[in-house]
Structure 1
Amino acid sequence: MIDPTEAPVIAVSLGDPLGIGPEVVAAALVEAQVRDLAAWVIVGDERVVRHAAARVGLPIERTFTGRIASRPTSGVSLLHVAGAPDPLPAAHGPTAACGQASLDYIRVATELCLDGVADGMVTGPVSKEAVTLAGRSFTGHTEYLAELCGADESRMLLANDKMRVVHVTTHCSLVEAANVGAKRVVDTIVLGHEAMRRMGWERPRIAVCGMNPHAGENGLFGDQESRVIQPAVEAARARGIDSVGPQPADTLFLQAYRGRYDLVVAMYHDQGHVPMKLMDFENTVNISLGLPIVRTSVDHGTAYDIAGQGIADPTDMKAAMRFALRLIDVPAQAT
């Protein structure tokens, strides 16, 4: 447990230097109601961070290079990580240099958490295209963080005040998603159950989507429900988890929205992302499960088309920052 007399420390990876990450981070932290919740360490290129901070009047109280020896106690700090091109390109778009810089920011922020300097991390948006241009195989933050942390199982959870969805699969083809085994479904239910308990649900009610239309219609539209999902739900129930399914996704999300279930298990990326983003795009937070560290993120992209104009909405970043504090073991931040 974190000492409740100390301020929690949250590392914030900047995201792609050419995206909206720098400006939404600065705009979120300039608000005292967010800034005073923790000691924040922005991980990114000093030139980029200070430019974004100056535009909104965010004070950077201290700057570190290399490793941070002791935990900051308040305010906003900057951990300089070189790598962004100097000068930055005039046009905002994916570049190899910024793709690599994005990964470096994530890696350093993760190291701060693993070393105990930070209690959790919030990540700004990155571009998969930019990272690919840098020569890295990259399917998403969650998978990269699992690699950095040596975690065998990781999942993506989307959460807002109205609903929560954890995904069995995310960044893969539908063909690949349709071929997962029961163990992955069971592991997803278990990870989701553990996360919900950590967020305050004593006995979360969990419902699992079917893979096919109408949850297969008793085998008319596919057999994943009877062959994979139903056995997984039964295995989860045998472990004392309140879970039901498979259920047709087109009605399940409405039932969850109306309060019948606390968590939905989606079988693939769009099955879970579409209803969550439609419902509350600005306040939906991306949370990584199965890691030894706390990580939350905005659930939007780099938005190159509006980057650098000072018009990006920081609402989602503020939500991600607050959610990180809910997930770390600090009694004062448990609500």
Structure 2
Amino acid sequence: MLKKVLIIGMGSIGRKHYDAFTLLGCTVKAVSKHLAQNNHNIFRHLTEGLQNFQPDLCIIANDTADHAASLLEIRAYSENIRILVEKPLFNMPQKGAISHTDNIFVAYNLRFLPIIQNLKRQVSTKNISSVDIYCGSYLPNWRPETDYRCSYSASSIRGGGVLWDLSHEIDYAQWLFGDLSLISSLCGTFSTLEIDSDDTALILANSPRCPAISIRLNYTDQIAKRHIEVLSSDETLYANLINGKMSINGEIQEFQQNIQHTYLMQAKALLQDHPDINTCTYENGLKTTAFILRAKELSNDQQNQTNL
């Protein structure tokens, strides 16, 4: 089992990984320019952390725009280090070649929610006619202790925007129903939030297992909601990812919901010799990135045509 874990980036997500791996008995150190002073567990630079700590596993949890550079630096140092990249994998087409990708994974930890895993079992044999996925909440409420305008979510250059921030929905749609094919897309900044990233995305797609999939994402819903509705030939299935309740033709099942627990389960999976089948692979992470880039491009093309 892997034991030495290096986390690159110690924002709110980096700290969640730190807590999970520490709880599992790992020796955990981090790379952070903000927290390095007088802390022997913090390195200011990735090179320093790799050379002095020699980790078994690296967690890339810095800004999305910096993921590729961190990946390339780790791979230049060693092809044997297992890597978990925070979602999304990239926010732009990847130009530099990443070697030895079979031990690189992407942190789509919602796959470890019991309600999502039950949903995967439920839909595996169904004749599905349509799926509606929704995730919306108010960006200023995400991190109440900080100014939302200074967050990476507010900045397109740093990798913000709902399609990147809420790409869990794209990932689990593909995990549950197969690779998505894009039909239509509308993305943009339509609210009064003081951001330059997209605050709304409306996606229409299909997949090998479902002819009609809608995905609606936003930073603007004052009442946080996250759900998926699946219509099949014999069932209406509704899963609320916030309260952990699943309805099948009106009959309610309840699941324990604890997001931090998903980080713990993901960490356990990554520490094994062969990571759990629920863990998102590099290849699947690339598919999600490619789908988002196509959605943004199609939205721009459609809006440009409308403005002609």
TM-score (norm 2): 0.35
Higher-RCO chain (CA-CA 8 Å, sequence separation at least 6): 1
Of Structure 1 and Structure 2, which has the larger fraction of its residues in helix?
1
Of Structure 1 and Structure 2, which has the larger fraction of its residues in strand?
2
